[in-house]
Structure 1
């Protein structure tokens, strides 16, 4: 479609796993032509071998049929073109050069030093195409360091400090259920790529965009004043309640849990009215924000006692009637089926390329709405090398003989 924000842009995708493929997924959802380069010698993208799988027999923990495709790949591969190219083979160098010659950007998430060894690093690519934007996503930055420079999400969570921001004081570290390191870095990578593309449009010169998973996540940790809180004696780990914003936190109800966010005077007073304790509004312990923080445990205990004997729906309804921000705590399976996010296509059904929509499964959509452009995913994930002919013959102009020779030598 030509009415997408990145229509006409071409991205060469050298990424694997999650952080890199999520970045290129977003670029594809914004309309860029994303050409995913996969190594035929290793079976392509590592996510192709992540259980569970979907095929003609439905969902399974093991691949039962050649057409079965990993749910991970079904999610991350949408709207991408797949070509096979063994970048370790010297015969692949001129093919890679042809791919990047007219491209707008390259996105890679190799460990530092690998692209230089393969001859596909920014310096090499820049010689071929000075306008290219070359985006690197790595654990600790393209300069390397910190051991091997390799990183997994849990390693990044551990080093960023984020594991010590959740849980009760004295608890063991808490790993976030979402792979937040793997998911935050690609967001910054997309911002950096788009910014560099805009600059290249003005200057005619591309550049290297360097994003580290550790830096991305630690920068978010630094958005909260944990150092200052520690200095004044406020616990950095507060469990389900947040005393410095009282009343604020997760409260148990009779049949579930409720999230309450009432740090302002108006919200706090609304909460006290909702629980039938309006006289506490003028209580010196709760009259001002600073006093509520000082007496947070007492305030939270009063609210907790009111919530405990009531169903979640009633608690949320009463708090909402009094203008207090509150919501039920949902399971992920329930949350992704919310009609609101479904209607806005922020969450969408997964489609298998051969067997159609797997209605029981959902995937991330494009959580950006435009008033004068389209964004989203309208093509399923490709099979390994599905677009070799389209890219090599139609886009690059290779002859049938050239393609056959590359295939014979296992380059593609």
Structure 2
């Protein structure tokens, strides 16, 4: 695709696992040429060895053939070029220098200090290309922090406070089902990268973009004033219902669960009409928002009893007829097959580059629609080192002999 927003930009991708590769996946989906640098000595990106794998016959928990590829790589590797390169090898360092001289962006998610030891940190890269945008995604910031070790998603969730925002008040911490710590930082990293690219166009100077997983997730926790709730006696953890927005929450029905969001007077009164209890609209307990919050348990109890014995479809019909925001609670399998998100390519099918669509897999698209350009993925994930010749010979101009020598010395 040449009509994408980042077409013509080149990204050197030094990332592995999830946080970094998700950022570069989005950059690739926006049109950048992403060159994924993988260590030949370790088998490349760690996610290449994440079960399950897609085989000729479908999904498997073990790799049966060399061509089998992990679902993680099938999703995160789309639209990327894979080259192998040992950055610990002095000759590998020289090859890396050739890659970044004409690149626009470098993205890395090494532990703090690793890029400096390898001689590929921002100061080193900037001497090669002053206009480079160098984006670091780490657990605690590029310089690390007190006691900062390996940053795993659950560690970040635990430290951010998000685990204590869900669940019942008397329950233990609740881990968010999505790896939200791993997936939020890349979004900010892409925002920072694109912003720095725009500034570099004006100034001719690149810069270091530094995003931490802990900072990204904690910043979202701070968007909701939990400390203020606590100060005025509102519970921070409320389980399936949210008293401060009553009526608001998740309610069991005869055949599923209903999500209800009716914090305004108009919505709340619509709920009461849907229930056949319009007489309660002028009840002093439920007439205004403040009154409903003070009597939230009683109000939620009435709604829960109404929902408990009725089919979900009947409840939705009654609520939507009154203009009340309500929806069924879906499982992930159903959600990613919604015709709307499929039509908008926010969720897309993912296929194996050799075996095709043998596993009926759904994967993230680029959930941004442009009026005058395209975003999305048109190439499957690459095999390890699949684009060595294309990048090293066609892009960098290395001869076949030079490439053969680099391979013989295990540099690539």
Band of TM-score, shorter chain: over 0.9
- Report SS of the residue matched to 1:314: helix
The answer to whether the 8 Å contact 1:140/1:146 transfers is: no
Question: What runs of 5+ residues in structure 1 fail to find an aligned partner?
Answer: none
Give 2:64's aligned residue.
Answer: 64
The answer to whether the 8 Å contact 1:349/1:358 transfers is: no
The answer to whether the 8 Å contact 2:79/2:381 transfers is: yes
Give 1:33's aligned residue.
Answer: 33
The answer to whether the 8 Å contact 1:350/1:358 transfers is: no
Give 2:5's aligned residue.
Answer: 5
Partners of 1:47 and 1:236 lie apart in 2 by 36
1:147: Cα distance to partner? 2.2
What is the TM-score normalised by the length of structure 2? 0.99
Give 1:339's aligned residue.
Answer: 339
Partner deviation per Cα, 1:190-227 (whole Å, 9 max, x = no partner)? 00000000000000000000000000000000000100
Partners of 1:212 and 1:358 lie apart in 2 by 37
What is the TM-score normalised by the length of structure 1? 0.99
2:90 matches 1:90: yes
Partner deviation per Cα, 1:341-400 (whole Å, 9 max, x = no partner)? 111111111110111124511100110001100110010000000000000000000011
2:305 matches 1:300: no
Give 2:327's aligned residue.
Answer: 327
Equivalent residues in 2 for 1:312-323, closer than 5 Å: 312-323=312-323
1:148: Cα distance to partner? 4.3
Partners of 1:393 and 1:334 lie apart in 2 by 45
Give 1:134's aligned residue.
Answer: 134
The answer to whether the 8 Å contact 2:59/2:359 transfers is: no
Give 1:311's aligned residue.
Answer: 311
Partners of 2:149 and 2:110 lie apart in 1 by 10
Partner deviation per Cα, 1:293-312 (whole Å, 9 max, x = no partner)? 01000000011110001011
Give 2:188's aligned residue.
Answer: 188
Give 1:213's aligned residue.
Answer: 213
2:367 matches 1:367: yes
1:57: Cα distance to partner? 1.9
Give 2:55's aligned residue.
Answer: 55
2:179 matches 1:176: no
Partners of 2:134 and 2:178 lie apart in 1 by 27
Aligned CA RMSD, in angstroms, stands at 0.7
Partners of 2:178 and 2:292 lie apart in 1 by 32
The answer to whether the 8 Å contact 2:54/2:359 transfers is: no
The answer to whether the 8 Å contact 1:19/1:183 transfers is: yes
- Report SS of the residue matched to 2:236: coil
Equivalent residues in 2 for 1:8-19, closer than 5 Å: 8-19=8-19
The answer to whether the 8 Å contact 1:84/1:384 transfers is: yes
The answer to whether the 8 Å contact 1:83/1:387 transfers is: yes
Partners of 2:17 and 2:146 lie apart in 1 by 21
